[in-house]
Structure 1
Amino acid sequence: MLARLTKLALAALLPGLTGAALAVQPGPPPPAVVRTAEITSLDMARTLTTPASVMSRNDAQIAAEASGRITFIAEPGDEIPEGGLIAQMDDRQARIQLEEARARHARATANANYQNAEATRYQQLAENGTVPATRRREVELARDLAVQDAREARSALDRAELALERTQIRAPFAGRVAVRLIQVGELSSPGRDIARLVDIEHKEAVAQVPVAVAPFLQVGMDVSLSLSDGQTVRAPIRAIIPVGDAVSRTFEVRIDLEGSDWIVGSAARVALPTETPRTQLAAPYDAVILRANGNFVFIVDDEDVAHQVAVIPGVRSDGLVAIAGDIERGQRVVVSGAETLSDGRLVTELGEDA
């Protein structure tokens, strides 16, 4: 009797349960939240990546020009302006010699002035017939000798000033002291290296490039450079050295990095074109979905509906990849959120401030 009542109760409840189940059946999925970008057209070409080194355009071992004991030298890392003092030698002897040269020059100059005045006076007397011509010639000879002595004294004074100047070792260009090669108290001699000075503002990347890419390079062309930590910049080619190595079949290319904060000596890689650039449609890397059965992107139409379109990816450059397919310039392509999309799905744009 109890079992029969239970069956009757369940039979009475089934219609209500079936109606409730039908009422909660899911409708169409909500719009997918995505980010989009426009398809653009760019001049792009296949590239060859080759190693490069960051170098300073001014990197010199500064040497002494005179003998003397070092009394001062700049510390490694010190920034020296052009003409600034890198090292100082004991200049006491040079100053003494300079004072002696100044005294000799002053004496010779005074004598030359006196002899010149005497020669002028004797010339007037000779014209009046007061003194013989031989006496006039003697005075003129004394004047000429005095003038030559004054010139010799001037040269000696210049040498003394130069000797004093050479006790100060100054920077031929602005830069930083990278290495100090002598210490205070050591005795230097002409030609001895004092310090290494490196210009950290005027830098360039130097790369050895295969001769085969030479037809596609020109001075002023922007190329892409990257460091091992992922930093990437675009910089112009400053110089092309059109002399190839017979063994490696490479030539030198220098890329301008003036003002860059990259450290001199850093290893870099440079991407150089291996063909003439041509106009291609391009989208951000993240827009292309790579699958085993093909590559595709999602194009968003004016009604915010996503459509899956097969594409063929090509050249990559500066965060963009060339794509070929049933696409047009200016169309919106999904760059974030495409992994969970399906063809025909309604989408909504995620704001920039989200």
Structure 2
Amino acid sequence: MVSIAAVISGLGASLPERVVSNEDLAASLDTSDAWIRSRTGIVRRRMVEPGTSTGDLAVAAGRAALSSAGSSADFVLLATTPDQPCPATAPQVAHRLGLEGVPVLDVSAVCSGFGYALALARALVASGACSRPLVIGAETYTSIVNQLDRDTAVIFGDGAGAVLLHEGDSTEPGAIHALDLGSDGAGSGLIEIAAGGSRCPRTGGALSCEQRYFRMRGREVYGQAVRRMATSVRTVLARAGWSNQSIRAFIGHQANQRILDAVSDRLGVETNYRFGNIAEVGNTAAASIPLAMADTTARRLVRPGARTILMAFGGGLTWGSVALSWPDALPVHLPPQHPPARQNIPAPPDGTVPGTRSTPL
């Protein structure tokens, strides 16, 4: 039966030019190429240059997805760790893309963010709130990871990926067929940056590295990730009415190759239907799934319309999976795009800031 569906029609990607190999990290950390490969599956990752922000990557990936689809967007959802605590990053991204006046939203679900944003986009299309949502996953985790911490510095890289969707029907390649999302706040301490919010502001005293930087309790995260993602995939397969054996493309959030292998093995996914690029780009958090999709499409490894499962697990704790048919879109890759330099506004002689009140309300 044909029904209205949100359909992926454009794929975009953006990666920094700077490549950081395992050998590069071994020069400053107590580690080795062999140690990193055996525990993560990562060989190299991309890292932004100083002055390049998450928003710069998001703009490039978003513009690439729009170019891939040959269309514009009427809603922007940005899954990310934002450029700054306030305001959200999505309005600036939309402005720089020339999408003036469109509604926007930052989605904060860490590594599960892209799946959550896809779910929101699908609901927005179904409700009639929009017809061409742009979903971007963008991260610069190297800016929030302690580069002297071997447990996290070797894992993360920077990048952005994006998809443009349109209102279509369920028979089209790229149609989203089913979703499953979940969370468990009891595990919020397993993946976190402790400082920077209202519970632990960055002001008012010295902060330790553990408070200022991203930290993760790897062994516990591994167990949770494997169990939660395997359960979520079984649920979304049942909702789509698909069998494990019918899946022809299986892409997980590129967190750790051992996690990806463990979930795939539990579900009985054949090796030749497992796709990813963690070896080349590392863990790019919310950007990892669209980046892996763009890479897989560029290498022409999956036919349009093939039954596909996407899955992710991240801080919160959050997790989710998506059942869709592989899109019929050619990916476009663009380098990070920087905004025009801001002009400094001089303060008036009395020391107040222009546009603000010098006395309490």
- Normalized against structure 2, the TM-score is what? 0.20
**Bigger helix fraction:** 2
Instruction: Give the structure with higher Rg (CA).
Output: 1
Higher strand share: 1
